[in-house]
Amino acid sequence: MRTVNLGGKDIGLKATPLALLYYRQEFKSDLIGDLFKMQAIADDPSALDSVALLQIAWSMNKAAEGMGKAFPHFESWLSQFEYVDFSDADTMTEIMNEARDGFFRRGARRAKPVS
């Protein structure tokens, strides 16, 4: 979990399986699939899908807030921010890093086979 400043507000982000579910329920799309589409940003900044990045942040913020708590739908969540500074590379990178670190854990322990 990490905290980023988005639009002047500190928000928590947590890349968990719940974030994947929340993303699917809200946007009828797969978070990992949409994340893969955004990989081209490093080579071509025009490949940035700003709304998709905010959708990913929304789902990870909802997961960070905890299951069962009231949480606004995406449009209402967006309305709490006066602005989003897409030139703030640190924030944009932290959103992507949380997704990468949470959903692609290289070397993570695997379950032991049952004997």
How many separate domains does the chain show?
1
List, for residues 100-109, the tens digit of each pLDDT value: 999 998 755 5
Concatenating the DSSP letter of every residue in 85-97 gives -TT-HHHHHHHHH
Assigned domain for 37 exists: yes
Assigned domain for 113 exists: no
Distance CA 5, CA 8 (A): 6
Q: What integer pLDDT is reported at residue 2 of this predicted model?
A: 95
Q: What integer pLDDT is reported at residue 21 of this predicted model?
A: 97
Going by pLDDT thresholds of 50, 70 and 90, the confidence category of residue 63 is very high
User: pTM value?
Assistant: 0.86
Range of the structural domain that residue 13 is part of: 2-102
pLDDT over 80 at 112, yes or no: no
Assigned domain for 115 exists: no
Assigned domain for 20 exists: yes
Going by pLDDT thresholds of 50, 70 and 90, the confidence category of residue 71 is very high
List, for residues 16-60, the tens digit of each pLDDT value: 999 999 999 999 999 999 998 887 776 777 778 899 999 999 999
